[in-house]
Amino acid sequence: MLNRRTFTAAVAGSGLALGMPALAQFSERTIKFTNGVNEDHPVGVGVKKMQEILAAKTGGKMKIAAFWGGAAGGDLQATQALRAGTQEMVCTSSSPLVGIVKELGVFDLPFLFNNEKEADAVLDGPAGEYFNKKLEAAGLINLAYWENGFRNLTNSKRPINKVEDFEGVKVRVMQNNIFLDSFKTLGTNAVPMAFGEVFTALETRTIDGQENPFVTIETSKFFEVQKYLSVTRHAYTPFLVLYSKKLWDGLKPEEQAVLREAAKEGQKVQRQANRDLNARSLETLKKSLQVNEISPAEQKRMLDRVKPVYDKNVATIGAEAVKVVMDELKKVRGG
């Protein structure tokens, strides 16, 4: 017959024994996670949440070692390392991946989304799954779509209120064919240029303007060499949290499940942090720049103007990929 002390010890022992098999599903792992942004970017908030989830769910067995600001190489270089199975994870925007999965070029199309709600619905629904399958075929597992955000235009010539205002403005764009096409079609003198050269080019008036999310405009101090900020929201770029398929296939199902959960929880806080920070950056920029919103009617005129960019690039991106996104957008918009 058990006395109270023996009974208590037996119960405690059985509780410990019940907990052990759960933790035994996880191996000791330190996962290398790289990205091109700095730790104070909203991606840092998402990674911290992932680290917390992994620590709690795996008893500290699975850890993320994060490398910031391209310290372990550029996004494309890291992505190729994932495909080769020599690195576990990278957080990258969709644009550098177009050479690997051409269908991701759909996210470079101008004026695709009207707001964050539309972007979330498309990325977190069947359309997002469509791209996930394309990525997996290329050796990449996408754990979650995080946010880089909407891009907006600054320049030193005039406010951009309507389509005609783009005419003749010399704008730096990313070294990306769709962006180049979009801004040429809008009437600007579009100049592809490496990001590191932009501030000096604006300062010396080699170019009139550039386009980036509010946070980038603020942190890069472009407000010191620009006069106007037009809230064009002409492009929305997602971040993707990618894992090497070669290494993923070597994980236990429980390890895969906890990584997906961690990335999804990271998504919630990263997106919110990004939106909060962009709102704060816009308020800060209003102190130095003349800021104007674009009316819905003019936004539609801009979209109509760049329709040839869609027509020209559908074949390159893939008609199926464009249709998948457009069909999902119709549902979201109730069309």
Per-residue pLDDT of the chain (335 residues), as tens digits, is 445 444 344 434 433 333 445 777 899 999 999 988 888 889 999 999 999 999 999 999 999 999 988 887 788 889 999 999 999 999 999 988 999 999 999 999 999 999 999 999 999 999 999 999 999 999 999 999 999 999 999 999 999 999 999 999 999 998 889 999 999 999 999 999 988 899 999 999 999 999 999 988 998 999 999 999 999 999 999 999 999 999 999 999 999 999 999 999 999 999 999 999 999 999 999 999 999 999 999 999 999 999 999 999 999 999 999 999 999 999 999 86
Percent of the chain with pLDDT over 70: 93
Contact 92, 240 (CB under 8 A): yes
**Chain segment 281-315, per-residue pLDDT in tens:** 999 999 999 999 999 999 999 999 999 999 999 99
* Contacts of 118-121 spanning 24+ positions with Cβ under 8 A: 118/329, 118/332, 118/333, 119/147, 119/236, 119/238, 120/271, 121/328, 121/332
Q: Is 4 exposed, middle or buried (CB count within 10 Å of its CB: 0-12, 13-18, 19+)? A: exposed
Position 40 scores a pLDDT of 86
Total-model pTM: 0.87
Contact 177, 110 (CB under 8 A): no
Please report, for residues 160, 172, 310, 312, the alpha-carbon distance to residue 181 in angstroms, rounded to integers and kept in the order given: 18, 12, 10, 9
* 118, two tokens: 């539309």
Of 37, 35, 44, 45, give the one whose Cα is nearest residue 82.
35
What are the E-state strand segments in 167-284?
Answer: 170-173, 189-192, 209-212, 228-244
**Chain segment 5-45, per-residue pLDDT in tens:** 443 444 344 333 334 457 778 999 999 999 888 888 899 99
Position 17 scores a pLDDT of 37
* 247, two tokens: 């290494």
Residues pairing with 239 in the sheet: 93, 146
Position 96 scores a pLDDT of 85
Contact 189, 209 (CB under 8 A): no
Task: Give the gyration radius of the chain's Cα atoms.
Answer: 23
* Residue showing tokens 């911290």: 48
Return d(Cα 321, Cα 95) in angstroms, integer: 15
* 181, two tokens: 């096409």
* Residue showing tokens 């600007």: 188
Using CA atoms of 40, 43, 46, 50 in order, give the dihedral in degrees to the nearest 10. Answer: -100
